[in-house]
């Protein structure tokens, strides 16, 4: 009797439950979001028309042009702010800058309105080479119009010539040694006439540089 009662109560409780709804759940009726995702991701690329691409490139080029313009303006402003060079009277012997490894030098071609052939021959044998105006088209220089040296830069009987720097240094060293030998010969001739009773002091040609008052040297201890 007790078992039968339990079965009846279970059956009754099962029958009193609410019937299950046959309507499908929300998850089954919702449309998947994957269908619209590709269209949303490709929307910016699809909206890029050829005109938009040209506009973008034009803006990039215009931006670079503006940067270049600002750089040129700033450079021009710095150039204007540089200190102005003071005016000096022009020299008749202004010369263009020499090439690398060379030195420009004015040599005498005339003396008393007469050609100085001896000096010109000597300079040419030393290694000088005449400079012509066509080598410096941007430099305003007086030019010989006619004669043997036509086209050469020259003024007042002087002609512009160039010489290698190595030759200049060798020439300077030669004349320094020659001058030193002459001075030594003069000193030897002077000392030959020295008398023991009244000796001649050997000449000294040293140069010294001192700073300050020499009278105050004894006070510094």
Percent of the chain with pLDDT over 90: 31
Give mean pLDDT, residues 155-161: 92
Give mean pLDDT, residues 79-101: 80
pTM of the entire predicted model: 0.50
Give mean pLDDT, residues 19-38: 50
pLDDT given for residue 131 in this prediction: 94
Give mean pLDDT, residues 20-46: 49
Give mean pLDDT, residues 134-160: 90
pLDDT given for residue 214 in this prediction: 57
Query: Distances in Å between the alpha carbon of 36 and those of 27, 40, 46?
Result: 17, 6, 15
Residue 13 pLDDT greater than 50, yes or no: no
Confidence of residue 58 (pLDDT cuts 50, 70, 90): low
CA distance 179 to 173: 10
Mean pLDDT of the chain: 74
Q: DSSP letters along 69-132, please?
A: HHHHHHHHHHHHHSPPPPP-PPPTT--PPPPTTEEEEEEE-EETTEE-HHHHHHHHHHT-EEPB
Give mean pLDDT, residues 163-180: 93
Among 43-47, 69-73, 174-178, the range with the most confident prediction by mean pLDDT is 174-178
Residue in this structure with the two tokens 């060798």, named with its chain if needed: 170
Confidence of residue 112 (pLDDT cuts 50, 70, 90): confident
CA distance 181 to 67: 67
Confidence of residue 3 (pLDDT cuts 50, 70, 90): very low
* Burial of residue 70 (number of CB atoms within 10 Å: 0-12, 13-18, 19+): exposed
Note the pLDDT tens digit of each residue in 116-131. 999 999 999 999 999 9
Residue 23 pLDDT greater than 70, yes or no: no
Asked if residues 155 and 149 have their Cβ atoms less than 8 Å apart, the reply is no
């Amino acid at each position: 009797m007790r078992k039968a009662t339990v079965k009846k109560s279970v059956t009754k409780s099962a029958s009193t439950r609410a019937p299950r709804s046959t309507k499908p759940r929300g998850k089954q009726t919702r449309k998947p979001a994957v269908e619209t995702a590709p269209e949303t991701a490709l929307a910016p690329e699809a909206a890029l028309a050829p005109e938009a691409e040209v506009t973008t490139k034009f803006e990039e080029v215009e931006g670079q042009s503006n940067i270049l313009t600002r750089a040129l303006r700033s450079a021009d402003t710095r150039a204007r702010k540089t200190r102005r060079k003071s005016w000096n009277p022009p020299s008749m012997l202004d010369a263009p800058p020499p090439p690398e490894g060379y030195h420009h030098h004015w040599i005498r071609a005339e003396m008393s309105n007469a050609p100085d052939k001896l000096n010109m021959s000597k300079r040419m044998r030393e290694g000088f080479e005449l400079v012509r105006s066509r080598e410096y088209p941007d430099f305003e220089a007086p030019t010989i119009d006619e004669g043997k040296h036509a086209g050469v830069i020259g003024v007042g009987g002087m002609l512009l010539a160039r010489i290698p720097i190595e030759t200049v240094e060798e020439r300077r060293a030669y004349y320094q040694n020659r001058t030193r030998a002459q001075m030594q010969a003069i000193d030897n001739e002077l000392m030959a006439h020295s008398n023991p009773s009244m000796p001649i002091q050997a000449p000294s040609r040293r140069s010294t540089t001192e700073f300050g008052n020499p009278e105050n040297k004894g006070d510094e201890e």
